[in-house]
Structure 1
Amino acid sequence: MAAHSGTGGPVRGTADTALSGEAAAIASLSITAATTDERLLDQPWHLALKDWPAENLAALPRGLSRHVVRFAPLGAGVVAIKETGEEAARHEYQMLRKLQRLGVPCVEPVAVMTGRMRTDGSALQPVLVTRHLRFSLPYRALFSQTLRRETLTRLIDAQALLLVRLHLLGFYWGDVSLSNTLFRRDAGAFAAYLVDAETGELHPQLSDGQREHDLEIARVNIAGEMMDLVEGGLLEDKVDPVATSERIMDSYRKLWAELTAEESFDLGERWRVNARIRRLNDLGFDVEEFSIKSTADGTSIRLQPKVVDAGHHQRRLLRLTGLDVQENQARRLLNDLDAYRADHQSEQSEEVSAHSWVRHVFEPIVKAIPRELAGKLEPAEVVHEVLEHRWYVSEDQDRNVPLAEAVQSYVDSVLRHRRDEAAIMLNPDEQTAAALAAAETDEG
């Protein structure tokens, strides 16, 4: 009994010491945060990220990173936590906040946490905390067995569009890659979101040299990522990594020219001003100002967009319905809204018709999705897919399929077989493989 008692004393003492050590570790934290959520302090900040216990983690798929990155629950959502240097963490946090204010698709910064230390008082790296973008996936999670060339092409086009938007705002990325981007489905295409702004710089305007350098970084990085997929047997054999990576150059330059190039035409062809605006609107951009100059001999004029802003269809749909969705989703839903108004020969205002469409089309589709399937895709993507499914079924059966019937057919034949993109949880085998891969990546 005495021996048991003697053993018990040091155990209790060790526990007390550990507890006070954890309290001291929490007290040492310095937090710069864009949230007042005190649950941030519930995480084991006294441990290196690679040592965090499973109960503190969310098993979501991660992209490649030269830093240790982990996902953790925070309230009803999830945050991504990255260990990095203090200067880098603060720079990226401030840069993401600036990009958010400019309306750039990027992850939301939550906090920078410095002064981390273990219970023994030794220092730990600071961390940057960002909010996980719901329904988004790293490019490596977008394949089932192999990544098809068509999917890869859409990813690169989305990356090119994001890069153009950033360059128009004067943002030099400095580390463009698919790994530093998250993708969300956008009416059959993809919308790209910036994840890593560690090397980013914001300027009043970028030079052609800065833009070209960013583009060259993208080309090289994407080629390397494709080669990595080929080595892992995750890419179709017919895909040429180098040729595929060249697509971002072509896609970027065509879009940049359409948005910024000067155009000359005869005075009698002034209709081309509106034609240029419509083309830019079709690409999802609004034009707030044009620079129009007459030539010296007065026979023609030169036209150049002055201020170009992305999200044309998003803003129109938001104004009409209050729905905040991706650009291509907005375009698709607006097309259905316009068709709905025409079908009902409505003489009501566009705003009134839009709210009627939300009540009789959008909301019934969303509400008809079984609760257990609601996390498969975000609501706007589900509505888009239902409308597409209805069109194909109606064409196949040569009749106008009622909306309720189309929804049920879509749920049974399509949605039930889709994976859950709100939170793709890894199974135990995948978690083990991911942990091994993370360990190898973290060491790099």
Structure 2
Amino acid sequence: MALQINATNPEHPALLLELPWQLPLEEWPEEYLVPLPRGISRHVVRYARAGDEVIAVKELAERPALREYTLLRDLDRLGIPAVDALGVVTGRTDVFGAPLEPVLITRHLRGSQPYRSMFETTLRPATMHRLMDALAVLLVRLHLAGFAWGDCSLSNTLFRRDAGAYAAYLVDAETGDLHPELSTGQRDYDLDLARVNISGELLDLEASGALHPSVDPIEFGTEICARYHGLWQELTRTSVYPAGEYHYIERRIRRLNELGFDVAEMQIEHSSNGDSVTFVPKVVDAGHHQRQLLRLTGLDAEENQARRLLNDLESWMATQEDYAPGDPLAARPEVLAHRWVRDVFRPTVRAVPVELRGSMDSAEIYHELLEHRWYLSERAQHDIGLGTAVQDYIRHVLPTARESLAPVVAD
């Protein structure tokens, strides 16, 4: 069987042909590899460079490789945070003609880290709680889309910084299944697997001395269940309100927006006697603030980053002379937003030298600068301005944080 490359981008096959497919992945020369932290996997995984992109290459049998490739593409179409599937290579043979395992190729998620590399510095419990929050949100989003993961764990997740919190991305979809809708039993099974896997992973860290002494692995394993159930209940519960009190429905929708979700479809029913109204969110889409920021500015950011940038944008807009909500002659929000990107956001981010940014993307850098501005202003008891905060951040914060930041890798 001849070498075959199934890829999502017409440019990828030519770039991928340059890689040494005639060698087992474990024997690839260093010249092809990129030194990035890897999580635990039942398969051989390596990071390599294909043109200007960094890719993750995983060896596995042909059928699961093609299946996972299809599932990852389905998740991408559904807008679920997961690694991008770029292709599958089959028909591999070594120099003697002996068959080699096919590989699944995904795009490296820039700025992300596997949980084990994060625990190398013994994470504080507060940071671990934020990881559990991120993983619970990911699992809820998967279940809302009808995806049963089948192996939810820290090992199968990558984490990216998101304005003081974290965003979680699915890495391994090999055991997953996509359905029109999940039953309660399917969701409970996934959640129980997550609890057992997470507790086991934390017990392993505890045995190696990498876990904070105040952290109980079993309690943290069960924490994912409580966080999941709380979020699922808020997103799907049925509410009954007095007839005519429609502001209760608006308040419920605003609450969902604050959590980062939009109500794309809802069901509203009046009781037979007309005394009450039943409200049920039927379709809930994540990424409320992401979509709002993208629509206004063209900036693509994580959900918490988008929320923070929107707050800063609104504060800045209020200082502009041509900002007059409701006035048809005033500048439209989109016009002001693009002016903010041009005159505030981009110059501020560009003031931070590229070599000092580590793995932080532009939105995370801007969030860090806003945080530093707030800290310095509190200390000075007056607003010190963004320009002063940027210079102080470059001079005093980034040099000390540089060693803890992952290296910049082009993608």
Pair in the same fold by TM > 0.5:
yes
Contact 2:137–2:231, Cα closer than 8 Å, also in 1: yes
Contact 1:376–1:415, Cα closer than 8 Å, also in 2: no
- More helix by proportion, 1 or 2? 1
Whole-angstrom distance in 2 between the partners of 1:145 and 1:307: 40
- Aligned-residue sequence identity (percent) comes to 55
Alignment match of 1:360 (pick from 343, 351, 358): 343
Contact 1:378–1:422, Cα closer than 8 Å, also in 2: no
Alignment match of 2:352 (pick from 369, 383, 394): 369
Greater relative contact order (Cα 8 A, min sep 6): structure 1 or 2? 1
> What CA deviation, in whole Å up to 9, does each residue of 1:24-76 have, x standing for no partner?
xxx83121111222121111111111111111211100011011111101112
How much does 1:147 deviate?
A: 1.8
- The answer on 1:302 being equivalent to 2:278 is yes
Whole-angstrom distance in 2 between the partners of 1:422 and 1:99: 28
What's the counterpart of residue 406 of structure 2? Answer: 421
User: How do residues 61-72 of structure 1 correspond to structure 2 at under 5 angstroms?
Assistant: 61-72=37-48
Q: Give the 3-state SS of the residue equivalent to 2:318 in structure 1.
A: helix
Structure 1 unaligned blocks of 5 or more: 1-26, 426-444
Contact 1:260–1:305, Cα closer than 8 Å, also in 2: yes
How much does 1:144 deviate?
A: 4.7
Q: Give the 3-state SS of the residue equivalent to 1:400 in structure 2.
A: coil
Q: Give the 3-state SS of the residue equivalent to 2:175 in structure 1.
A: coil
Whole-angstrom distance in 2 between the partners of 1:60 and 1:289: 42
What's the counterpart of residue 95 of structure 2? Answer: 119
Contact 1:34–1:110, Cα closer than 8 Å, also in 2: yes
Whole-angstrom distance in 1 between the partners of 2:398 and 2:359: 7
User: How do residues 234-249 of structure 1 correspond to structure 2 at under 5 angstroms?
Assistant: 234-249=210-225
How much does 1:420 deviate?
A: 3.5
Instruction: Give the AA of the match of 1:206.
Output: L
What's the counterpart of residue 4 of structure 2? Answer: 30
Contact 1:181–1:195, Cα closer than 8 Å, also in 2: yes
User: How do residues 16-415 of structure 1 correspond to structure 2 at under 5 angstroms?
Assistant: 28-35=2-9, 36-37=11-12, 38-345=14-321, 346-347=323-324, 348-415=331-398
How much does 1:289 deviate?
A: 2.1
Whole-angstrom distance in 1 between the partners of 2:7 and 2:153: 27
Q: Give the 3-state SS of the residue equivalent to 1:239 in structure 2.
A: coil
How much does 1:326 deviate?
A: 0.3
Whole-angstrom distance in 2 between the partners of 1:256 and 1:126: 38
How much does 1:146 deviate?
A: 0.9
Whole-angstrom distance in 2 between the partners of 1:277 and 1:235: 39
Instruction: Give the AA of the match of 1:421.
Output: A
CA separation of 1:144/1:249 partners in 2, compared to 1, >3 Å: closer, same or farther? same
Q: Give the 3-state SS of the residue equivalent to 1:124 in structure 2.
A: coil
Contact 2:357–2:365, Cα closer than 8 Å, also in 1: no
How much does 1:301 deviate?
A: 1.5
Q: Give the 3-state SS of the residue equivalent to 2:43 in structure 1.
A: coil
Report the more deviating stretch, 377-386 or 138-147.
Answer: 138-147
Structure 2 unaligned blocks of 5 or more: 325-330
Q: Give the 3-state SS of the residue equivalent to 1:42 in structure 2.
A: coil
Instruction: Give the AA of the match of 2:128.
Output: L
Contact 2:267–2:280, Cα closer than 8 Å, also in 1: yes
Q: Give the 3-state SS of the residue equivalent to 2:121 in structure 1.
A: coil
Q: Give the 3-state SS of the residue equivalent to 1:297 in structure 2.
A: coil
Whole-angstrom distance in 2 between the partners of 1:269 and 1:420: 51
Report the more deviating stretch, 78-87 or 369-378.
Answer: 369-378
Q: Give the 3-state SS of the residue equivalent to 2:89 in structure 1.
A: strand
CA separation of 1:109/1:422 partners in 2, compared to 1, >3 Å: closer, same or farther? farther
Instruction: Give the AA of the match of 1:394.
Output: S
Contact 2:199–2:221, Cα closer than 8 Å, also in 1: yes
Contact 1:134–1:422, Cα closer than 8 Å, also in 2: no
Q: Give the 3-state SS of the residue equivalent to 2:406 in structure 1.
A: coil
Give aligned pairs, total. Answer: 399
How much does 1:171 deviate?
A: 0.5
Whole-angstrom distance in 2 between the partners of 1:271 and 1:145: 48
How much does 1:111 deviate?
A: 1.0
Contact 2:163–2:364, Cα closer than 8 Å, also in 1: yes
Provide the aligned C-alpha RMSD in A.
1.5
Instruction: Give the AA of the match of 1:175.
Output: D
How much does 1:251 deviate?
A: 0.6
Instruction: Give the AA of the match of 2:366.
Output: V
Higher Rg of the two aligned structures: 1
Contact 2:110–2:409, Cα closer than 8 Å, also in 1: no
